[in-house]
Amino acid sequence: MATDQHQLQIAFAAFNEASEQLSGVYQELQHQVAQLTHELALTNGELRKQLLEKENISNQLSFLLNALPGGVIALNTQGSVEQVNPAALQILGEPLLHLQWQDIVAQRLKPTKVMNEWYLQQNEAKQQLRIRIQSSLMDCENRQILLINDITESYAIQEKIRRNQRLTAMGEMAANLAHQLRTPLATALLYATHLGNDNLTPDVRKGFADKTVERLHRLEQLTKDMLRFVKGETTQLERFSISYLLSELQQVIEPQLTLRHMHLIVRDHSKGEYLVADYQALFGAMISLLENAMQVSISGDLITLTSSLKKDMLVLSVRDHGPGIDDVAQNRVFEPFYTTRQEGTGLGLAIVRGVIQSMNGMVCVNSPSDNGSEFVVTIPRTQQD
């Protein structure tokens, strides 16, 4: 009996010890559950925060996509439209969703001569629009984004700018032609006027008639050269005597100088050498410089035309004894449309510079105060065709 009671006490002691151990484990489990519940709540809160942020970003992207003035189309892996913004619907018309992009192109677009630009025919307005379509690179799943812009108005503005540029070029060309033709025409008119003098002998009359015809042929040649320039033909290089050039310049300009009681001095130091260049272009440029000198001179003034050689370069200069050019004007005198004369166009010297530069040469002005001006042209004696 005593033995049984002792065993029973041992059993109760073991039970109590096991119960205490289980109670400790249970409390530890409760603590861990509470900690995990807290961590789960924090994680859920962070997830909800991220979800809200992503939702806000999605709303912002949707707002931006809908507000974009340009069209946006998303194509899926099969090349059909899976997403589109209102601007794309407005440009291309409805429907677009779930249609094959190639079918839309075939039915609604017509290619232009410019890559990525298309004509769009709208059924309602019957107005042909011009659009530009740019595409993104395909991603790893072969999806693609298309950006569509209506460039009808901007293209019209560009065409207007190009037209204005062409008109400007035509205006400069017309001014160039006027400069080229003015002096030969005036000379021909002067000779033709002399033909009406009844006191002329037959030989003198024939001389004036020959000179008139010669000047008219010069006008015809200048017109042909201008038409050649308009057609974009290449420069006509020819070999000619420098002395011949000076003689022709003197023959054309001298009657005008005589009419104004001015005098031309020609100093030819070319030593009989030849020049390879565009004769008509160089001739016109030098006539413009001589005319410029004549316009700033007064009755009784001298104008000097000089040629000289400097190694493989030809130097031509035109000097007058007019009022001169101040430092400010010297820096701008070759600018287009800059002029100090009320009746001037401001294109003469600009054209001269362009012509000389086309021959790989240069033109500059020297004008000491109150001592006239000298325009100096320097060009290579041999041009590369």
State the CATH number of the domain containing residue 326. 3.30.565.10
Bond preceding residue 95 cis, omega within 30 of 0:
yes
Q: Does residue 243 sit in the same domain as residue 381?
A: yes
Q: Does residue 284 sit in the same domain as residue 138?
A: no
The CA distance from 269 to 251, in Å, is 18
Separation in Å, CA 285 to CA 130, 179, 204, 260, 350: 45, 9, 31, 21, 10
Decide if 188 is inside a domain.
no
What confidence tier does 80 reach under pLDDT thresholds 50, 70, 90? confident
- The whole-number pLDDT of residue 93 equals 82
Q: Please say whether the beta carbons of 190 and 252 come within 8 A.
A: no
Q: Does residue 136 sit in the same domain as residue 241?
A: no
* Residue range of the domain that includes 114: 71-150
Residue type, 35: Q
Q: Reply yes or no on whether the pLDDT at 168 is more than 90.
A: no
Could you tell me what percent of the chain has a pLDDT over 70? 79
Q: Reply yes or no on whether the pLDDT at 173 is more than 70.
A: no
Q: Reply yes or no on whether the pLDDT at 34 is more than 70.
A: yes
User: Phi, psi at residue 298, to the nearest 5°?
Assistant: -125, 170
DSSP E strand boundaries for 78-157: 81-84, 109-111, 117-121, 128-135, 144-150
Decide if 213 is inside a domain.
no
Q: Reply yes or no on whether the pLDDT at 124 is more than 60.
A: no
Burial of 358 (0-12, 13-18, 19+ CB in 10 A): middle
Q: Please say whether the beta carbons of 91 and 150 come within 8 A.
A: yes
DSSP letter string, 327-341:
HHHHHHTTSTT--SS
User: Phi, psi at residue 275, to the nearest 5°?
Assistant: -130, 140
Q: Reply yes or no on whether the pLDDT at 268 is more than 80.
A: yes
Radius of gyration of the chain (CA): 45
What confidence tier does 28 reach under pLDDT thresholds 50, 70, 90? confident
DSSP E strand boundaries for the chain: 71-75, 81-84, 109-111, 117-121, 128-135, 144-150, 238-241, 263-268, 274-277, 302-310, 313-319, 362-366, 374-380
The CA distance from 368 to 327, in Å, is 9
Q: Please say whether the beta carbons of 344 and 267 come within 8 A.
A: no
The CA distance from 335 to 312, in Å, is 28
Decide if 338 is inside a domain.
yes
Decide if 317 is inside a domain.
yes
Q: In terms of Cα–Cα distance, which of 305, 260, 261, 298 is closest to 283?
A: 305
Q: Does residue 381 sit in the same domain as residue 254?
A: yes
Q: Does residue 144 sit in the same domain as residue 248?
A: no
Decide if 23 is inside a domain.
no
Decide if 197 is inside a domain.
no
Q: Please say whether the beta carbons of 152 and 120 come within 8 A.
A: no
- The whole-number pLDDT of residue 177 equals 63
What confidence tier does 244 reach under pLDDT thresholds 50, 70, 90? very high
Burial of 250 (0-12, 13-18, 19+ CB in 10 A): middle
Q: Does residue 146 sit in the same domain as residue 241?
A: no
Domain boundary residue, one of 95, 125, 150 = 150
Angle between helices 242-259 and 152-194 (to 10 degrees): 80
User: Phi, psi at residue 11, to the nearest 5°?
Assistant: -65, -45
Decide if 200 is inside a domain.
no
Domain boundary residue, one of 101, 120, 150 = 150
Decide if 337 is inside a domain.
yes
H helix or E strand, kind and range, residue 320? none
The CA distance from 136 to 165, in Å, is 35
Q: Does residue 138 sit in the same domain as residue 245?
A: no
pLDDT in tens, 205-216: 777 777 777 777
Q: Reply yes or no on whether the pLDDT at 134 is more than 80.
A: yes
The CA distance from 176 to 174, in Å, is 5
Q: Does residue 346 sit in the same domain as residue 250?
A: yes
305: region left, alpha or beta (phi > 0 left; psi from -120 to 50 alpha) = beta
Domain boundary residue, one of 150, 183, 213 = 150
The CA distance from 165 to 248, in Å, is 35
CATH code at 122? 3.30.450.20
Secondary structure (3-state) at 365:
strand
Split into its structural domains, the chain has a count of 2
